[in-house]
């Protein structure tokens, strides 16, 4: 069964070169290693070039099978001579499930963090994780904020810009972002959810008049987009001239028509979860996350 990963047939571990950067999923021109899957479902990795003493793995999470690929690649690198391995983690799996809300649930982020910690990476760089829980659970972690990402987008826009914090949980991060953006004004919002089924019951925006404002909704992740749809409707009702959605991680599941109908004019994201395919490039501007990861 193919995993859709580029393979390379060639000499194993040529002595005249060493590799110090590995990307998962493999780039189309990857020639440092190959991955395949046995008939029973097990993943397998084979290095094709000897690793350097210190290497970096860029790990783009693409489902739980990709976690196994990361562990196998890490093991293969160590067995082949890599002494220090740095991990670039643009998206932390399980980060949204950082507390147990209902009886019988797992604390997902702790499970994923434990798997990563067991590998004893020299450093783990995480881009805009959902909450502080991720940083508390990972060893030798460097959290990379979304400041430069949002600043790059804001520089492209005109008009009177205001940041919108989509809920109480985002306030700390958005106020920190506002300070980094030289005091850009912040509009607070909040949503009320049913903790059993996760449905949004109501959305509030704590501002009376947004006439002429370009509202930048900033959050870490967009899944189905319901939070932002409800919020955009409220912002437009209060007179917002334009609504821009900026998310660090986009799951490629939101309905573009529903986002547009709610009043969202543009979507900006990174490719931390892959390049969007179910939404038009005219509406969505996807940035390469690696350029914001201090690498």
CA–CA gap between residue 204 and residue 104 (Å, rounded): 31
CA–CA gap between residue 76 and residue 74 (Å, rounded): 5
Cα separations in angstroms, 219 against 148, 177, 258, 268, 284: 14, 11, 18, 11, 15
In the DSSP assignment, the letter for residue 80 is: T
- Phi, psi dihedrals of residue 67, rounded to the nearest 5°: -65, -40
Q: Is the pTM of this model over 0.85?
A: yes
For residue 284, the model assigns a pLDDT of: 97
For residue 191, the model assigns a pLDDT of: 77
- Phi, psi dihedrals of residue 279, rounded to the nearest 5°: -145, 145
For residue 131, the model assigns a pLDDT of: 94
Query: Which strands sit side by side in the sheet containing 200-205, from one edge to the other?
Result: 200-205, 186-193, 160-165, 213-222, 242-250, 266-270, 284-287
Q: Which residues does 208 contact at the CB level (< 8 Å), separation at least 6?
A: 238
For residue 198, the model assigns a pLDDT of: 60
Tens-binned pLDDT, residue by residue, of the chain (295 aa): 333 333 333 444 444 579 999 999 987 767 899 999 999 999 999 999 999 999 999 999 999 999 999 999 999 999 999 999 999 999 999 999 999 989 999 999 999 999 999 999 999 999 999 999 999 999 999 999 999 999 999 999 999 999 999 999 899 999 999 999 999 999 999 977 665 656 666 789 999 999 999 999 999 999 999 999 999 999 999 999 999 999 999 999 999 999 999 999 999 999 999 999 999 999 999 999 999 998 8
For residue 3, the model assigns a pLDDT of: 37
- Phi, psi dihedrals of residue 274, rounded to the nearest 5°: 100, 165
Contact call for residues 269 and 287 (beta carbons, < 8 A): yes
Cα separations in angstroms, 103 against 93, 192, 195: 21, 20, 12
Contact call for residues 293 and 88 (beta carbons, < 8 A): yes
């Amino acid at each position: 069964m193919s995993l859709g990963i580029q393979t390379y047939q060639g000499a194993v571990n040529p002595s005249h070169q060493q590799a110090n950067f590995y990307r998962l999923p493999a780039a189309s021109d990857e020639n440092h290693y190959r991955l395949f899957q046995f008939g029973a479902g097990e993943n397998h990795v084979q290095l094709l070039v000897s690793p350097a003493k210190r290497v970096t793995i860029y790990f783009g999470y693409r489902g739980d099978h990709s976690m196994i690929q990361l562990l196998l690649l890490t093991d293969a690198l160590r067995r082949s001579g890599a002494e220090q391995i740095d991990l670039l983690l643009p998206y932390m799996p399980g980060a949204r499930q950082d507390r147990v809300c209902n009886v019988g649930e797992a604390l997902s982020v702790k499970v994923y963090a434990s798997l990563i910690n067991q590998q004893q990476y020299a450093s783990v760089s995480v881009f805009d994780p959902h909450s502080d829980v991720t940083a508390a659970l990972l060893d030798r972690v460097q959290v990379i904020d979304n400041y430069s990402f949002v600043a790059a987008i804001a520089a492209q826009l005109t008009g009177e810009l205001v940041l919108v914090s989509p809920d109480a949980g985002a306030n700390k991060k958005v106020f920190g972002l506002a300070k980094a953006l030289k005091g850009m004004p912040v509009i607070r919002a909040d949503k009320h959810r049913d903790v059993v089924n996760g449905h949004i019951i109501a959305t509030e925006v704590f501002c009376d008049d947004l006439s002429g404002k370009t509202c930048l909704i900033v959050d870490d992740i967009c899944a189905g987009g319901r939070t932002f749809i409800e919020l955009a409707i409220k912002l437009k009702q209060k007179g917002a001239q334009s609504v821009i959605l900026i998310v660090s991680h986009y799951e490629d599941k939101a309905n573009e028509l529903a986002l547009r109908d709610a009043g969202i004019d543009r979507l900006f994201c990174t490719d931390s979860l892959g390049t969007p395919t179910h939404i038009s490039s005219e509406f969505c501007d996807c940035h390469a996350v690696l350029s914001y990861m201090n690498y």
